[in-house]
């Protein structure tokens, strides 16, 4: 096998879990239901292990080719009368939520949609090892999955296919049936694992991230800390809800997997995040941790302020943070301290927070 793995590559471990598991979790988190997986003969036990705990996931016997497997899965769905369907290659483990959203949005005006990327390298035509011509890269695109379709139309397209079942992807089947297939922006992270070197991640078993944030206290604003609203004569100023505690956790999570900081993903210049709940940012960062092949080990949060008193709210914060991250309460610590009235926090001008997280394979 090109992948160099002892198992079919969709069941081989990559970044701490089976390749298939990564995209299954992403699809489940995006609300896909049901999720049908076409299984090669003899891989039933591997599949059962890979989907364990994902209640939306179901398996069925696949066909001799990719195209045949897709048709079998579509036929199995026909009795449930879904409106839309996403068809995804299990060998593409990282499935960004924004690609799914773009595909579904495109179905508002098209019967099909596929994620594509531009071709940036020069192209040539090979003739027995010799260059025999060139191709216009400006008109070419690299096609990815998942590919999205109106269900009835793509099922009809597969049923109408009269050639050998060797189409490269479902967009080709759709196009042959006269369907419109719209392009949306793909993502480099959606790469397909193909060769042995693709599985050489060399990931450490444990990684650590540190986050720190500060916001000013002003009158006329609500005070949100640790995901809960606290009654106080002042609130924190910021583009979102300015929850310094959750912002510190987000930066720690992103730092642990080397994915930048909160401003990279939720820039204050973007109006869509105006007044947004920071709980959304925590859930997003936790999703990136999972996509990177890690799970959250523990969180240690320290809130630095003179007022309000954090003690009465500590347990509620812990429960909220644990729920956002999908971890046991025992893995979340929330502490508070003062600066003995020194500095901006001591003068009551603002609140700071520092977080340390571990992520483990």
> Could you tell me if residue 8 is inside a domain?
no
> Could you tell me if residue 3 is inside a domain?
no
**pTM tops 0.75, yes or no:** no
Give the per-residue pLDDT at 205.
75
Q: Is the pLDDT of residue 204 over 80?
A: no
Give the per-residue pLDDT at 6.
64
Q: Is the pLDDT of residue 55 over 90?
A: yes
Residues 213 and 151 in one domain: no
- CATH number of the structural domain spanning residue 98: 3.90.550.10
Give the per-residue pLDDT at 201.
64
Give the per-residue pLDDT at 9.
87
Confidence of residue 15 (pLDDT cuts 50, 70, 90): confident
The answer to whether the CB of 50 falls within 8 A of the CB of 41 is no
Averaged pLDDT of the chain: 92
Give the per-residue pLDDT at 170.
97
Residue 62 belongs to what domain range?
A: 13-199
Residues 164 and 128 in one domain: yes
Average pLDDT over residues 276-300: 90
Q: Is the pLDDT of residue 199 over 90?
A: no
Q: Is the pLDDT of residue 70 over 90?
A: yes
Average pLDDT over residues 22-28: 93
Question: CA-to-CA distance for 261 and 250, rounded, in angstroms?
Answer: 8
Q: Is the pLDDT of residue 185 over 80?
A: yes
The answer to whether the CB of 240 falls within 8 A of the CB of 276 is yes
């Amino acid at each position: 096998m090109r992948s160099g793995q002892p198992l079919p590559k969709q069941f081989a471990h990559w970044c701490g879990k089976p390749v298939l598991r990564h995209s299954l979790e992403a699809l489940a988190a995006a609300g896909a239901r049901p999720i049908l997986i076409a299984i090669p003969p003899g891989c039933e036990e591997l599949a059962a292990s890979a989907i364990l705990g994902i209640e939306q996931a179901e398996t069925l016997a696949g066909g001799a080719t990719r195209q045949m497997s897709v048709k079998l899965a579509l036929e199995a769905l026909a009795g449930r009368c879904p409106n839309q369907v996403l068809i995804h290659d299990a060998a593409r483990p990282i499935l960004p939520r924004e690609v799914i959203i773009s595909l579904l949005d495109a179905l508002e005006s098209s019967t099909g949609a596929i994620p594509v990327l531009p071709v940036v390298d020069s192209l040539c035509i090979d003739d027995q090892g010799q260059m025999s011509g060139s191709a216009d890269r400006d008109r070419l695109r690299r096609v990815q999955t998942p590919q999205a379709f109106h269900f009835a139309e793509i099922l009809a397209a597969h049923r109408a296919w009269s050639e050998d079942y060797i189409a490269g992807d479902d967009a080709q089947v759709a196009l042959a049936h006269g369907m419109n297939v719209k392009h949306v922006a793909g993502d480099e992270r959606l790469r397909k694992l193909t060769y042995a070197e693709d599985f050489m991640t060399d990931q450490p078993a444990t990684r650590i991230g540190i986050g720190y944030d500060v916001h000013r206290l002003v009158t006329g604003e609500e005070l949100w800390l640790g995901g809960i609203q606290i009654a106080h004569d002042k609130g924190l100023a910021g583009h979102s809800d300015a929850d310094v505690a959750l912002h510190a956790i987000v930066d720690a999570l992103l730092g642990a997997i080397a994915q930048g900081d909160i401003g990279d993903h939720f820039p204050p210049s973007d109006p869509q995040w105006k007044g947004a709940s920071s709980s959304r940012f925590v859930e997003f960062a936790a999703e990136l941790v999972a996509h990177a092949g890690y799970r959250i080990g523990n969180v240690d949060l320290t809130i630095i302020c003179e007022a309000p008193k954090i003690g009465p709210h500590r347990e509620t914060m812990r429960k909220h943070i644990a729920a956002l991250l999908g971890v046991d309460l025992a893995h979340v610590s929330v502490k508070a301290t003062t600066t003995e009235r020194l500095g901006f926090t001591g003068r009551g001008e603002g609140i700071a927070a520092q977080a340390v997280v571990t992520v483990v394979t």
